[in-house]
Amino acid sequence: MQITPLGDTALMLGFGDVIDESVRRRVHVAWQVLQAAPLPAVTELVPAYTTVTLFYDPMMAVQEGAPETGIVEWLTAKVRERLKNPPKTEKSKPRSVEIPICYGGEFGPDLGQVAKHAKLSPEEVIKRHGKADYIVYMIGFAPGFPYLGGLPKELNTPRHAKPRMNVAPGSVGIAGNQTGIYPLGTPGGWNLIGRTPLKLFVPDRDPPVLLCAGDGVRFRTISSEEFAKLEASK
């Protein structure tokens, strides 16, 4: 594990240089361990693809016993101690979340482009995207935006050079080897292939997001009629 300062109020714990399942698992385990028993002066943990970043309050650290000229060393020792014998596997079985998705048409204006890039028919893209198993590597960009790993290789599509000014909430997109879902109407450069009627960000719910890092995700293909029904019922 590599520990790097991120300014004077955060430390980044690094677990590898590639995006893959074994690095993801180590990130997740470290995150779980540090969350279960918070370290003194640590105010927030943010997991990403290969890192867990820990935000701390320097004054709180000193009040907890850190030497004033060695706050980072003090915190680093505590982190290493806490993560010395990490569990081999994730503590709890990952949650699996099913996301209904209506592919193509007005919901997926880039389906044709993804199909062309993959040299497949749109129907085949839908089939392959819809039956893969995904895992949430990271939440970021916007509240509840999941970066999903597990996209079938042949569906890799580079993002648009010029982002759209406004992507509709619920839009499912592809960028490189990742797929993701836009929770809010935001600008975005991903290739949009479908849309879910589910809300990914609900501020008054706890947690306020549908998906968290480490969750498993499967898509379920729905018709535009079912989309309308689900949307009306929420």
Partner 1 sequence: MITVIKPGLLTTVQDLGRPGYQQFGIVVGGALDRISTRVANMILGNDANAAVLEMAQTGPELRFENETVVAWCGADFDARIGNEPMPRDRPVRVGAGETLTFGFARSGLRAWLAVAGGIDVPLVMGSRSTYRRAGIGGHEGRPLLVGDTLAVCAPGERSAHLLGSLRTTGRRVASWTVRPQTLGGTFVEGTMRAMPGPEWDWFTPESQKAFFSAEWRATNEADRMGVRLVGPVLELSQPREMISSAVNTGIVQVPPSGQPIILLPSRQSVGGYPRLAALAAVDVGRFTQLRPGDNVRFQKITLPTAHELHLARERDLALIRMGLGRVMG
Q: Is the dihedral of CA 215, 218, 223, 229 positive or negative?
A: negative
**Among residues 43, 96, 121, 223, the one that binds partner 1 under rule CB under 8 A:** 43
Name 54's bridge partners. 11, 45
Q: Name the pairing type of β-strands 96-103 and 216-221.
A: parallel
Cα separations in angstroms, 162 against 158, 177, 182: 12, 19, 17
Written as six digits, the tokens of 31 are 């995150």
Dist CA 44 CA 136 (whole Å):
20
Q: If binding is defined by CB under 8 A, does position 8 make contact with partner 1?
A: yes
Binding residues for partner 1, total number by CB under 8 A: 50
Q: If binding is defined by CB under 8 A, does position 6 make contact with partner 1?
A: yes
Interacting span for partner 1 (CB under 8 A) from 63-71, 79-87, 94-102, 223-231: 63-71
Q: Please, which residues have CB within 8 angstroms of residue 139's CB and are 6 or more apart in sequence?
A: 145, 146, 147, 209, 211, 212, 213
Encoded one letter per residue, x for contact with partner 1 by CB under 8 A and - for no contact, window 146-185 reads: -x-----------------------------------xx-
**Among residues 62, 83, 97, 230, the one that binds partner 1 under rule CB under 8 A:** 62
Q: Please, which residues have CB within 8 angstroms of residue 61's CB and are 6 or more apart in sequence?
A: 40, 41, 71, 74, 75
Q: If binding is defined by CB under 8 A, does position 203 make contact with partner 1?
A: yes
**Among residues 1, 33, 46, 132, the one that binds partner 1 under rule CB under 8 A:** 46
Cβ closer to partner 1: 137 or 219?
Answer: 137
Chain residues binding partner 1 by CB under 8 A are 4-10, 12, 17-19, 43-51, 53, 55, 58-59, 62, 68-72, 138-145, 147, 183-184, 186, 201, 203-204, 207-209, 212-213
